[in-house]
């Protein structure tokens, strides 16, 4: 015999649904509406343009296409680098000891900083004249590798990706450690009995068992990569140069240029790109874990 849920309990969901509808669904619907207009964001009237904004964004906007390319480069480096580093740190620090706990706290520390603080730290590191990176290269005799970092048009977005990895790898390490602690010790004992080495244990026990954590880390890192708005503005200024322009900063620049309708169309393409990348990642993760 099952107990029926009193109807009055559903009333507790009403405030949350009202907030969700008012602050998410309604603006989203309005964004779709404005994407078909040439509204500048403050005039009382606007003109209907149909799908012209979306067509221009997809086929005629070199600035948006360049920002998308930068964003995909940034995404690829951050997802691969941050996931690999977080898993490596988690495997090395999974043991429950005082030293491991101290190191976990040390690697997690950047996560509690604000994006603006992280941007100031890495601006100092990347300064071509007085920065820490070039100073360290000089100190170890590798001055031929000195770089302009953020001033190098070809590699600037990759150096921002390095800062992003440093910023959030500790946070993702915690996710992986939680996943590692869920693996039954008996699986490792059975692998050792079968003569498996440390790499084989990782390949056939650890890696498959942390698949749920990997999916979570990759999905979260992807969203972080598309939302790296404040870090890029902190490092590159406003508006950022073309070499550091990503989709979020491009949409903001369009909005600030009194083209709200066109910015809404860019936002729709932006969300479609996130959905496509997330779907491809899920497919790749399923194939990788069998």
Instruction: Compute the C-alpha angle 72/75/79, nearest 5°.
Output: 145
Give the pLDDT confidence score for residue 147 in this predicted structure.
87
Mean pLDDT of the chain: 88
CA dist., res. 132 & res. 158, Å (int): 17
To the nearest whole percent, how much of the chain has pLDDT over 70?
Answer: 97
Torsions phi, psi for 48 (to 5 deg): -75, 130
Give the pLDDT confidence score for residue 136 in this predicted structure.
92
Residue range 227-249, pLDDT digits in tens: 888 889 888 887 888 888 999 99
Residue range 144-163, pLDDT digits in tens: 888 888 888 889 999 999 99
**Contact in structure between 227 and 219 (CB atoms under 8 Å):** no
CA dist., res. 92 & res. 187, Å (int): 19
Q: Would you list the domain boundaries of the chain?
A: 40-288
Mean pLDDT of 27-54: 88
Give the pLDDT confidence score for residue 2 in this predicted structure.
58
Is the preceding omega at residue 253 within 30 degrees of 0, hence cis? no
Q: Which superfamily, per CATH, for 40-288?
A: MetI-like (1.10.3720.10)
Residue range 178-228, pLDDT digits in tens: 999 888 988 888 988 888 888 899 888 898 888 889 888 988 898 888 888
Q: What is the torsional sign of CA 15, 17, 23, 26?
A: negative
Is the preceding omega at residue 239 within 30 degrees of 0, hence cis? yes
Q: How confident is the model at residue 83 (pLDDT cuts 50, 70, 90)?
A: very high
pLDDT exceeds cutoff 60 at 1: no
Give the pLDDT confidence score for residue 288 in this predicted structure.
67
Look up the pTM and report it: 0.84
248 to 29, 83, 90, 131, 185: CA distances (angstroms): 19, 22, 31, 28, 44
DSSP 8-state symbol, 84: H
Query: Three-state DSSP class for 184?
Result: coil
């Amino acid at each position: 015999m099952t107990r029926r849920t009193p109807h009055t309990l559903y009333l507790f969901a009403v405030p949350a649904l009202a907030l969700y509808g008012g602050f998410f669904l309604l603006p989203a619907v309005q964004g779709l509406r404005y994407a078909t207009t040439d509204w500048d964001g403050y005039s009382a009237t606007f003109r209907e343009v149909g799908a012209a904004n979306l067509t221009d964004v997809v086929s005629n906007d070199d600035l948006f296409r360049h920002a998308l390319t930068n964003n995909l480069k940034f995404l690829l480096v951050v997802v691969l680098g941050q996931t690999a580093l977080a898993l490596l740190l988690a495997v090395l620090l999974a043991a429950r000891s005082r030293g491991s706990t101290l190191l976990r706290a040390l690697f997690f520390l950047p996560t509690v900083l604000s994006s603006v603080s992280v941007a100031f730290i890495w601006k100092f590191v990347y300064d071509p004249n007085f920065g820490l990176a070039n100073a360290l290269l000089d100190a170890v005799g590798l001055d031929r590798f000195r770089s302009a970092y953020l001033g190098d048009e070809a590699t600037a977005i990759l150096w921002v990706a390095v800062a992003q990895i440093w910023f959030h790898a500790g946070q993702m390490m915690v996710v992986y450690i939680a996943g590692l602690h869920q693996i039954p010790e008996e699986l490792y004992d059975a692998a050792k009995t079968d003569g498996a080495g440390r790499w084989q244990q990782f390949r056939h026990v650890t890696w498959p068992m942390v698949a749920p954590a990997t999916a979570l880390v990759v999905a979260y890192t992807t969203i972080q990569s598309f939302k790296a708005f404040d870090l890029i503005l902190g490092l590159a200024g406003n508006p950022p140069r073309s070499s550091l322009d990503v989709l979020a900063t491009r949409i903001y620049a369009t909005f600030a240029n009194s083209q709200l309708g066109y910015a809404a169309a860019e936002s729709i393409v932006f969300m479609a790109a996130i959905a496509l990348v997330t779907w491809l990642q899920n497919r790749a993760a399923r194939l990788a874990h069998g």
